[in-house]
């Protein structure tokens, strides 16, 4: 059926968005006063050196040609050379990306498990003490920025209780696995290094949980609302009146339609997680993209900045696409509407 | 039909300030809203009068007293002192001034832009203008605001003005989407049609007929957003893209303090809690308003 057309349509929209995004950053980077070539070479470079560098990097060409050249390269996965480290931006990003991805993935898992669990409990036992507890928790989660959770968790679980390690990706006395995927826990498991896997997993817990708190709170809130909303509907009443066991109704019939808003919320917050990961990585000394991004920002390394933003944009678009597909699977009304 | 009309006009959500006393009564029934309002009142007052109520007003700027550095919370320094020996409580109070200023400036730039675009797009529904406005809005909406703000602020020179500018640039599309929704829903109602029939100009219809319909939504959204704009500002200054030292900025203070964890925990924890407090206050009031106007969309 039309699922391919649906996906193709969404893909096209995503590409338009990415082009728009890159254009916006390009325009802003142009409007800004200051010469990127001069910034890259420092104040000691001579005028000839600056001019040579400028023409080598294509910075002397008009804006739209620069953009066109950049776009041509970007399509082939070449995001240009960093103006500061002189290394290819794409390579650098690939180097740092897996650590960030691991963090965000773990936080998504936390979000999925705890958000849906808390929301289901609150919705199932609406207006009980459990519901009120979840409501209070959601409120705290929504108004507290992730970096505050990061600091509090680090102090409480890391330093006060000594339950979990709170700096970096691995303990210093443990040898890390060889790089296969870049996800340390996965790499350790693949190479059979269970000691490193456990250590890396423990290191992952605090930062990913602090990242996930906001999402857990929102998911719980939305799942609860949606379950309460759906449990008054006719099809649930019909099942109840037929004497179908409550638990059976819950898991087979009620949960699936109720999770639709949660899934779309999770997709959105997964994309937001990547921007918040910047802050969490700084606190926990996590060797991810934030360090690279922060250096790029400090040094006005335009190619690197655009690279990092584009990678985040691509993640955002991809996640939204996946979410749309999952929702189309969960909700036949959306799937069939495209016919 | 008539019943529907009566219901429509008696609904306070459409004319929120028609009966202030009654609205206030409804709002004040919720203790959480009152708590939020109280908090907000305290925060705003303490920000306004920071130079007079702060224990060490001279610590707000460049001030170094190495003898007093890293003092834990005590009666003379309620929230401790930082690496320069400055009183943290004083800097939090002055930091609130920056945060509130940032919120106000960001919203007063982005709300008019967003509302205008949303209003025009909603009124011109079905035309090219609508498509252009809403596609541009969609592009901006499709990027997490923090990332876009970081990207914009990072190509500009890092300071308070530029971070405000960057956040405003990422903030307006939320308003144009919201107002577009409200306006495109009301633009075919009778009062708009009758205004069109008697020959009112487009500007008149937008400003005098459609805009008042959006006020309750707008008011609620702005209240909720003050907190989130402040949070985004704090996140930007956390990565070094906001107000530069020695200006007391809450985000900068948290990131400075996080370098001294866990020994000097007070350096980051108190400014962090201050950020939570201001977001909480705006959220509680915003939620109260949302219930008052019985809105669901915001």
Smallest CA-to-CA distance from A100 within A221, A278, A220, A306 is with: A278
Give A18's strand partners.
none
pLDDT tens-digit readout, B122-141: 988 888 888 888 888 877 88
| CA angle at A259 for the pair A255 and A265, rounded to the nearest 5° | 165
Give whole-number Cα distances, A209 to A153, A197, A216, B273, B293, in Å: 9, 18, 9, 19, 35
Residue A81, SS3? strand
**Of the partner residues B135, B239, B269, the one whose CB lies closest to the CB of residue A278:** B239
Cβ within 8 Å, pair A145-B234: yes
Chain B residues in contact with A28 (beta carbon < 8 A): 151-152, 155-156
Which of A22, A142, A279 best tests the B interface by mutation, with the highest count of B CBs <10 A? A279
pLDDT of res. A339 = 44
Cβ within 8 Å, pair B154-A296: yes
Cβ within 8 Å, pair A154-B261: yes
For the segment B186-202, the average pLDDT, to the nearest whole number, is: 88
pLDDT of res. B45 = 93
Cβ within 8 Å, pair A147-B235: yes
ipTM confidence score? 0.81
Give whole-number Cα distances, A46 to A40, A49, A113, A126, A335, in Å: 13, 5, 59, 72, 62
Whether B10 has a pLDDT exceeding 50, the answer reads no
pLDDT of res. B18 = 63
Determine the residue of chain B that is closest to A308 in CA distance. B151
pLDDT of res. B13 = 47
Chain B residues in contact with A16 (beta carbon < 8 A): 135, 139
Cβ within 8 Å, pair A294-B155: no
Are the beta carbons of A206 and A155 closer than 8 angstroms? Answer: no
Determine the residue of chain B that is closest to A296 in CA distance. B154
Q: What is the pTM of this model?
A: 0.83
Residue A226, SS3? helix
pLDDT of res. A83 = 74
Chain B residues in contact with A290 (beta carbon < 8 A): 239
Alpha-carbon distance of A278 to A274, in angstroms, equals 7
pLDDT of res. B37 = 93
Are the beta carbons of B84 and B97 closer than 8 angstroms? Answer: no
B25, exposed or middle or buried, with CB in 10 Å at 0-12, 13-18, 19+? exposed
- CA B183 and chain centroid, separation: 22
Whether B1 has a pLDDT exceeding 60, the answer reads no
For the segment B290-297, the average pLDDT, to the nearest whole number, is: 75
H or E stretch at B16: none
DSSP states of A42-57 = -TTS-HHHHHHHHHHH
Determine the residue of chain B that is closest to A14 in CA distance. B142
**Of the partner residues A24, A145, A290, the one whose CB lies closest to the CB of residue B275:** A145
Alpha-carbon distance of A201 to A102, in angstroms, equals 10
The number of C-alpha atoms within 13 Å of A151 and in the hemisphere containing its C-beta is 29
For the segment B148-154, the average pLDDT, to the nearest whole number, is: 79
Torsion sign (Cα): A47, A51, A53, A57: positive
Alpha-carbon distance of A136 to A130, in angstroms, equals 10
DSSP states of A156-198 = IIIIIS--S--SSSS-TTSPPPP-SSS-HHHHHHHTT-HHHHH
Whether B7 has a pLDDT exceeding 50, the answer reads no
Alpha-carbon distance of A136 to A139, in angstroms, equals 5
Tokens 């669901």: give the residue. B296
What is the C-alpha R_g of chain B? 22
Cβ within 8 Å, pair A312-B147: yes
Most confidently modeled of A157-161, A305-309, B143-147, B189-193? B189-193
Helices and strands, number each (H, E), in chain A: 16, 0
Residue A69, SS3? helix
Lowest mean pLDDT among A8-22, A23-37, B106-120, B263-277: A23-37
pLDDT tens-digit readout, B12-69: 445 556 677 888 888 888 888 899 999 999 999 999 998 898 888 888 877 777 787 8
DSSP states of B41-57 = HHHHHHHHTHHHHSS-G
Q: How far is B155 from chain A (nearest CA, A)?
A: 6
Which residues of chain A are under the pLDDT cut of 50? 338-339
Determine the residue of chain A that is closest to B135 in CA distance. A17
Whether B3 has a pLDDT exceeding 60, the answer reads no
Are the beta carbons of A230 and A260 closer than 8 angstroms? Answer: no
Alpha-carbon distance of B232 to A304, in angstroms, equals 22
**Of the partner residues A32, A151, A279, the one whose CB lies closest to the CB of residue B155:** A32
Cβ within 8 Å, pair A143-B280: yes
Whether B109 has a pLDDT exceeding 90, the answer reads yes
pLDDT, mean over chain B: 84
Q: How far is A114 from chain B (nearest CA, A)?
A: 22
Chain B residues in contact with A139 (beta carbon < 8 A): 283
For the segment B263-273, the average pLDDT, to the nearest whole number, is: 88
**Of the partner residues B147, B254, B262, the one whose CB lies closest to the CB of residue A147:** B254
Neighbours of B73 (CB within 10 A): 16
pLDDT of res. A2 = 66
């Amino acid at each position: 059926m039309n699922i391919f057309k649906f996906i193709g349509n969404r893909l096209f929209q995503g590409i338009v968005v990415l082009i728009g995004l890159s254009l916006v950053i390009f325009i802003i980077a142009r409007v800004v006063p200051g010469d990127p070539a001069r910034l890259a070479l420092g104040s000691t470079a001579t005028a000839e050196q600056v001019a040579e560098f400028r023409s080598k990097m294509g910075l002397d060409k008009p804006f739209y040609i620069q953009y066109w050249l950049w776009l041509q390269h970007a399509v082939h996965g070449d995001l240009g050379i960093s103006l500061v480290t002189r290394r290819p931006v794409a390579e650098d990003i690939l180097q740092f990306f897996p650590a960030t991805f691991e963090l965000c993935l773990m936080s998504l898992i936390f979000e999925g498990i705890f958000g849906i669990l808390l929301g289901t409990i609150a919705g199932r036992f609406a207006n009980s003490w459990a519901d009120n507890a979840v409501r209070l928790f959601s409120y705290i989660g929504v108004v507290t920025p992730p970096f505050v959770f990061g600091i509090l968790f680090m102090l409480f679980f890391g330093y006060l209780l000594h339950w979990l390690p709170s700096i970096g990706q691995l303990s210093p006395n443990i040898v890390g696995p060889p790089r296969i995927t870049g996800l340390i826990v996965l790499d350790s498991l693949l190479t059979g290094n269970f000691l490193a896997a456990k250590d890396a997993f423990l290191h992952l817990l605090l930062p990913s949980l602090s990242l996930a708190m906001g999402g857990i709170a929102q998911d719980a809130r939305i799942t609860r609302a949606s379950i309460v909303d759906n449990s008054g509907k006719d099809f649930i009443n019909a099942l109840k009146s037929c004497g179908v066991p409550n638990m059976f109704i819950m898991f087979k019939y009620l949960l699936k339609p109720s999770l639709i808003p949660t899934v779309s919320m999770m997709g959105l917050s997964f994309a937001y997680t990547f921007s918040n990961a910047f802050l969490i990585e700084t606190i926990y000394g996590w060797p991810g993209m934030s360090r690279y991004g922060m250096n790029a920002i400090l040094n006005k390394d335009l190619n690197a900045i655009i690279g990092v933003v584009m990678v985040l944009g691509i993640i955002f678009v991809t996640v939204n696409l996946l979410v749309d597909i999952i929702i189309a699977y969960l909700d036949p009304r959306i799937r069939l509407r495209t016919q | 039909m008539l019943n529907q009309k009566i219901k429509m006009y008696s609904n306070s959500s459409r004319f929120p300030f028609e009966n202030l006393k009654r609205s206030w009564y409804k709002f004040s029934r919720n203790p959480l809203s009152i708590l939020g309002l109280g908090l907000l009142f305290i925060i705003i007052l303490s920000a306004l009068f920071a130079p007079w109520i702060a224990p060490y007003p001279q610590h707000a700027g460049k001030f170094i007293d190495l003898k007093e550095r890293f003092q834990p919370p005590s009666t003379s320094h309620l929230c401790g002192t930082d690496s320069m020996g400055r009183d943290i409580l004083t800097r939090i109070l002055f930091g609130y001034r920056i945060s509130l200023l940032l919120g106000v400036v960001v919203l007063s730039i982005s709300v008019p832009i967003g509302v205008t675009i949303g209003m025009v797009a909603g009124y011109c529904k079905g035309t090219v203008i609508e498509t252009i406005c809403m596609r541009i809005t969609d592009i901006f909406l499709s990027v997490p605001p923090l990332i876009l703000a970081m990207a914009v602020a990072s190509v500009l020179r890092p300071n308070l003005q530029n971070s405000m500018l960057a956040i405003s640039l990422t903030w307006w599309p939320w308003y144009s989407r919201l107002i577009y929704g409200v306006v495109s829903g009301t633009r075919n109602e009778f009062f708009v049609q009758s205004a069109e029939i008697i020959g009112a100009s487009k500007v008149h219809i937008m400003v005098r007929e459609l805009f008042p319909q959006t006020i309750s939504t707008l008011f609620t959204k702005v209240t909720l957003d003050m907190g989130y704009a402040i949070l985004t500002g704090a996140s930007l200054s956390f990565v070094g893209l906001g107000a530069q030292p020695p200006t007391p900025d809450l985000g900068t203070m948290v990131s400075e303090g996080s370098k001294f964890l866990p020994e000097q925990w007070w350096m980051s924890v108190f400014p962090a809690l201050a950020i939570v407090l201001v977001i909480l206050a705006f959220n509680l009031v915003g939620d109260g308003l949302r219930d008052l106007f019985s809105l669901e969309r915001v």
